[in-house]
Amino acid sequence: MEQTLSIIKPDAVAKNVIGKILTRFEDAGLRIAVTKKIQLSREDAKAFYAVHKDRPFFNDLVEFMISGPVVVSVLEGDNAVAKNRELMGATNPKDAQKGTIRADFAESIDANAVHGSDSLENAKIEIEFFFAQREIV
Ligand code: ATP
Ligand code: MG
């Protein structure tokens, strides 16, 4: 049983598709261990995406992630990390396979609807970034 971190980004929250996206996870057999809607601070967003701090798109990414509330969830199930990435689709929605979350709900590589941990190791770090252990059932 794996756990992974999902973020529904500000573009998808603004579009009122939180429920539709969470339903995709449930329909694929993942369980929502915990979920909450929060407003990230600039400091939060910079720390969360620190691996990208030297990339040219870093500032735009941070500004986008704080442009409105996000929904952070811990998803749980067999192969949760890979399964979530599969459901999300490619980073650029133009390249995302039909039926994936990004193909169906995202507009651009900047506003791409969801984040998902890219490895089990990063999933642990990202879950701890947002949740106390006692919050995760
Ligand atoms: P995420 O980490 O948000 O789940 P990802 O793992 O598919 O997305 P990363 O390579 O980790 O993609 O990039 C993090 C985010 O930075 C992307 O979701 C995207 O919004 C933005 N990004 C990545 N590459 C580019 C790019 N070439 N131009 C603009 N924005 C980009
Ligand atoms: Mg990533």
Count each helix (H run) and each strand (E run) in the chain, helices first.
7, 4
Residue 84 pLDDT:
98
State percent of the chain over pLDDT 90: 99
The residue type of 57 is F
Residue 114 pLDDT:
98
What number is the average pLDDT over the span 78-105? Answer: 98
Query: Nearest Cα to 96, choosing from 109, 84, 83?
Result: 109
Is 103 within 8 Å of 89 (Cβ atoms)? yes
What number is the average pLDDT over the span 24-48? Answer: 98
User: What angle do helix axes 80-88 and 120-130 make, rounded to 10 degrees?
Assistant: 80
Mutate to test the pocket of ligand 1, among 57, 88, 95, 122 (most ligand atoms within 8 A of CB): 57
State percent of the chain over pLDDT 70: 100
Pocket of ligand 1 contains residue 107 by CB under 6 Å: no
Pocket of ligand 1 contains residue 57 by CB under 6 Å: yes
Protein residues with C-beta less than 5 angstroms from the ion ligand 2:
118
Distance of alpha carbon 72 from alpha carbon 9, whole angstroms: 9
What number is the average pLDDT over the span 64-72? Answer: 98
- Please determine, for residue 137, whether its predicted confidence score (pLDDT) is greater than 90: no
Pocket of ligand 1 contains residue 41 by CB under 6 Å: no
Q: How confident is the model at residue 89 (pLDDT cuts 50, 70, 90)?
A: very high
What number is the average pLDDT over the span 81-101? Answer: 98
Average pLDDT, the chain: 97
Nearest CA, atom 9, ligand 1: 91
- Please determine, for residue 73, whether its predicted confidence score (pLDDT) is greater than 90: yes
- Please determine, for residue 37, whether its predicted confidence score (pLDDT) is greater than 90: yes
Q: Element (H or E) spanning 117, and its range?
A: none
| DSSP helix/strand/coil, 18 | helix
